[in-house]
Amino acid sequence: MTLDAAWARRWMTQAAAALADAKDDLTELDRQIGDADHGVNLDRGFRAVVAKLEATPAPDDETVGAVLKLVATTLMSTVGGASGPLYGTAFLRAARVTDRAHLDPPAVIALLEAALEGITARGHATVGEKTMVDAWQPAADAAAAADEGTTREVLAAAARAADAGATATIPLVATKGRASYLGERSAGHEDPGARSTAILLATAVAAVEEP
Amino acid sequence: MSTALVLVSHSVKIAEGVVDLAGEMAPDVPILCGAGTLEGGLGTSVDQVTGAVERALVAADGVVVLADLGSAVLTVESALDLEDGWSGRVVLADAPFVEGAVAAAVTAQQGGDVAAVRAAAQEAGTMFTPEPVQVLPPPAADAPVTARVTVANPLGLHARPAAQLARAIADLGVPVSVGGVDGSSVLQLISLGATGGTELEVAAHGPGAPEAVRAVVGLIEGGFGEA
């Protein structure tokens, strides 16, 4: 099974719905260790993404990369907080390696690795600093390790690893991002960016099948 | 060679205020605001930044961008990533927002190119290099009056309490050191980074010293009205 531009569009619709549901939870996580805007910002950004996609008719030869590029520029323009340029750059780098109609498992792995690379390039964070990298890095690693599987299995492995990675940020002390201002007091709370990454990747899996 | 400035802040008010301030010193320099979200709320948007830079490039040969907190910088970097056509003509300065903008504007007014204007902005950052803590006046012949005090409020000597303490010490008219630094200097007090529970030595010399030390200890123990 390969993934096409219609999958990418379904992914964004489902991501917007899931992030809208999680808006208050994400904002609550961010209130504890940040500036309480992560849920609201992502909800605004992904709503704008869905509106933009609905207003942009899909050409017959639409590539996955074309959808992801539209997602990237929309997030950069509308999210408002640091997650805008971070997720925006992730989707932009992912778009550059997915400019084709269908993604096979190696292309899905490349998408996730490019997204991770975009986030680390923009945010200068590494694993263990209590940021979204703590979800993206295990996701990309797990995808690469699942390279014998179908596209769905690759994505599912990435989503499971992102979920575990997000949970594993709870005891960490933040050294990057807004939460780092809190130092030791940031321990005991899950990083909102790592959690939203897990939500985003879970919807990538759910979007594989037509609803 | 003309250079414009684009100021990127989370807050439109902050950016507009700095546009006013820097503009007063550099009336011929285009200084544009690329701040706030698309709706004008708190935040940053690549569209706001790109729009301001494009308008600035109509008015000048090059653009130096200044940004305030974290995501403002990320947003400018994203805009630079997206717009290949700007290569070399648009640069981000790693500089303090207010001081950097003023220094950059003055250099741009004198005809500085992008590199010179960015350098001027970044040089403003050296104002914040930690100065060696001033040596207090030589101790008087008599023994100092000292006391140890534990910082009571959890956030400690952050800006507001430090300013309150420095003003109070200046009003006492007796030089008082707190944690080894000049207690009348708000910047030196902040540089202690003393959070709640930190123990500090308060010391003074000469006439009025016992009363001054008592007053300072009382203020710190009082927690500056913070829980």
Q: Look at residue B110 in the predicted model and tell me its pLDDT.
A: 83
Q: Write out the DSSP string of B70-138.
A: HHHHHHHHHHHHH-GGGTTTEEEE-S-HHHHHHHHHHHHHTT--HHHHHHHHHHHGGGGSPPPPPPPSP
pLDDT interval class at B134 (50, 70, 90): low
Considering only CA atoms, which of A119, A77, A181, A96 is closest in space to residue B75?
A: A77
Does residue A108 surpass a pLDDT of 60?
yes
For the stretch A149-207, pLDDT in tens is 999 999 999 999 999 999 999 999 988 777 777 878 888 999 999 999 999 999 999 99
Which of A133-142, B75-84, B125-134 shows the lowest mean pLDDT across its residues? B125-134
pLDDT interval class at A104 (50, 70, 90): very high
Cβ distance A76 to B71 less than 8 Å, yes or no, reads no
Higher pLDDT, A123 or A210: A123
Long-range contacts of A27-36, Cβ-Cβ distance < 8 Å, separation of 24 or more? A27/A192, A29/A189, A29/A190, A29/A191, A29/A192, A29/A195, A30/A192, A32/A189, A33/A174, A33/A178, A33/A179, A33/A182, A33/A185, A33/A186, A33/A189, A33/A191, A33/A192, A34/A177, A34/A178, A34/A179, A34/A192, A35/A81, A35/A178
Q: Look at residue B139 in the predicted model and tell me its pLDDT.
A: 54
pLDDT interval class at B215 (50, 70, 90): very high
Q: Does B94 touch chain A (CB under 8 A)?
A: no
Does residue B130 surpass a pLDDT of 60?
no
Does residue B214 surpass a pLDDT of 80?
yes
Cβ distance B43 to A86 less than 8 Å, yes or no, reads no
Name the residue of chain A whose CA is nearest to B83's CA.
Answer: A73
For the stretch B146-161, pLDDT in tens is 999 999 988 888 767 8
pLDDT interval class at B25 (50, 70, 90): confident
Q: Look at residue A58 in the predicted model and tell me its pLDDT.
A: 93
Cβ distance A79 to B43 less than 8 Å, yes or no, reads yes
Instruction: Provide the shortest C-alpha distance from residue A75 to chain B (in Å).
Output: 9
Name the residue of chain B whose CA is nearest to A177's CA.
Answer: B70
Q: Look at residue B131 in the predicted model and tell me its pLDDT.
A: 56
pLDDT interval class at A97 (50, 70, 90): very high
Q: Look at residue B184 in the predicted model and tell me its pLDDT.
A: 80
| Structural domains for chain B | 3-128 (3.40.50.510), 145-225 (3.30.1340.10)
Average pLDDT over residues A123-131: 92
Name the residue of chain A whose CA is nearest to B11's CA.
Answer: A80
Residues of A with Cβ-Cβ distance to B82 under 8 angstroms: 73, 76, 92
Q: Which candidate from B42, B46, B77 shows the least CB-CB separation from A77?
A: B46
Q: Does B78 touch chain A (CB under 8 A)?
A: yes
Does residue B129 surpass a pLDDT of 60?
no
Considering only CA atoms, which of A102, A39, A96 is closest in space to residue A71?
A: A96
Residues of A with Cβ-Cβ distance to B46 under 8 angstroms: 73, 76-77, 84-85, 88
Is B10 a known active-site residue? yes
Q: Does B37 touch chain A (CB under 8 A)?
A: yes
Q: Does B49 touch chain A (CB under 8 A)?
A: no
Cβ distance B71 to A81 less than 8 Å, yes or no, reads yes
Does residue B140 surpass a pLDDT of 70?
no
Q: Which candidate from A41, A78, A85 shows the least CB-CB separation from B77?
A: A85
For the stretch B77-120, pLDDT in tens is 999 988 888 988 999 999 999 989 988 998 898 889 999 999 98
Question: Where are the domains positioned within chain A?
Answer: 3-206
Residues of B with Cβ-Cβ distance to A76 under 8 angstroms: 45-47, 75, 78-79, 82
Chains A & B: contacts with CB separation below 8 Å = 61
Name the active-site residue from B4, B9, B10, B97. B10
Which of A1-10, A155-164, B58-67 shows the lowest mean pLDDT across its residues? A1-10
For the stretch B162-195, pLDDT in tens is 878 887 887 888 999 999 988 887 667 877 888 8
Q: Look at residue B118 in the predicted model and tell me its pLDDT.
A: 96
According to DSSP, the β-strands at B199-204 and B145-150 are antiparallel
For the stretch A70-96, pLDDT in tens is 999 999 999 988 899 999 999 999 999
Beta bridge partners of B67: B8
Q: Look at residue B99 in the predicted model and tell me its pLDDT.
A: 87
Residues of A with Cβ-Cβ distance to B71 under 8 angstroms: 80-85
Q: Does domain A3-206 have CATH number 3.40.50.720?
A: no
Residues of A with CB under 8 A from a CB of B: 37, 41, 73, 76-86, 88-89, 92, 122-123, 177-178
Q: Look at residue B192 in the predicted model and tell me its pLDDT.
A: 85
pLDDT interval class at A210 (50, 70, 90): low
The mean predicted confidence, pLDDT, of chain B is 87
Q: Which candidate from A41, A78, A89 shows the least CB-CB separation from B78?
A: A89
Higher pLDDT, A132 or B138: A132
Instruction: Provide the shortest C-alpha distance from residue A78 to chain B (in Å).
Output: 6
Q: Look at residue B128 in the predicted model and tell me its pLDDT.
A: 61
Q: Does B44 touch chain A (CB under 8 A)?
A: yes
Does residue A211 surpass a pLDDT of 60?
no
Q: Look at residue B137 in the predicted model and tell me its pLDDT.
A: 56
Q: Does B71 touch chain A (CB under 8 A)?
A: yes
Q: Tell me how far apart the alpha carbons of residues A170 and A196 are, in angstroms, rounded to a whole number.
A: 14
Q: Which candidate from A77, A82, A88 shows the least CB-CB separation from B70?
A: A82
For the stretch A26-46, pLDDT in tens is 999 988 887 788 999 999 999
ipTM tops the 0.90 cut:
no
